[in-house]
Amino acid sequence: MPISNIMDPSLAASAYAKGGSMGTAKIASAPEGIKFSDFIHEGVKDAIETMKAGETMSAKAITGEAGLTDVVQAITSAELAVDTITALRDRMISAYQEIMRMPI
């Protein structure tokens, strides 16, 4: 499941309108019982596919099969995927460190 299908933007907007509390609202398009590990696995898989597409488009540009606009778009998408994965990793490490600092 792509990361973009996990949360409906209108759900976030309504939570913001209520003062930032989601209350009992459920994630709109996520099936019941989705596992965090499955979410991460699919996100990483999508990021790898995006990076492969960027590399393929770069190779096509070298041989003259792809236009500059297509190459820039593919490379920008790959860069965004790497930035997203890096930010997710940093947040997970930060959360782990915070848990380890909690008193028993």
The whole-model pTM stands at 0.57
Residues of the chain above pLDDT 70, percent: 69
CA distance 19 to 17: 5
pLDDT in tens, 5-54: 445 556 555 655 665 444 444 445 555 678 888 888 888 899 899 999 98
pLDDT for 11 equals: 56
Mean pLDDT, the chain, rounded, equals 78
pLDDT of 80 higher than 80: yes
> Per-residue pLDDT averaged across 51-73, rounded?
89
14 or 77, greater pLDDT: 77
**Closest by alpha carbon to 44, among 2, 75, 79?**
2
